[in-house]
Amino acid sequence: MFDFFIWGGASLSVAGLAGLVWCILRVMKARRSNLPDDELRATVQGVLPWNLGALFLSVIGLMLVILGISLG
């Protein structure tokens, strides 16, 4: 029964990791395009909530994996 926690948590962690990679690529693209400082700052501020959400999703997934392993 606790396999659901493990596989569900692993899928959440992978989704969070994909979100983090997307955030990294988005900021790298903005840095390489030589935007002015204000536009670069606005881009980074726009990516920040997505970054925190992806990190939160990944942490919740890892917590579910640990919970499933310890209970199973």
CB burial of 31-44 (b: ≥16 within 10 Å; e: otherwise) equals eeeeeeeeeeeebe
Q: What is the pLDDT of residues 6-22, one digit of tens each?
A: 999 999 999 999 999 99
User: Based on C-alpha coordinates, what's the Rg of the chain?
Assistant: 16
pLDDT the model gives residue 2: 84
Which range of residues forms the domain containing residue 58? 3-71
Per-residue tokens: 31: 């840095």
Q: For residue 41, give Cα distances in angstroms to 10, 20, 54.
A: 33, 18, 20
Q: What is the pLDDT of residues 25-57, one digit of tens each?
A: 999 999 999 889 999 999 999 999 999 999 999
Please check the confidence at residue 1 and state whether its pLDDT lies above 90.
Answer: no
Number of domains in the chain: 1
pLDDT the model gives residue 16: 97
Per-residue tokens: 19: 């979100």
pLDDT the model gives residue 72: 84
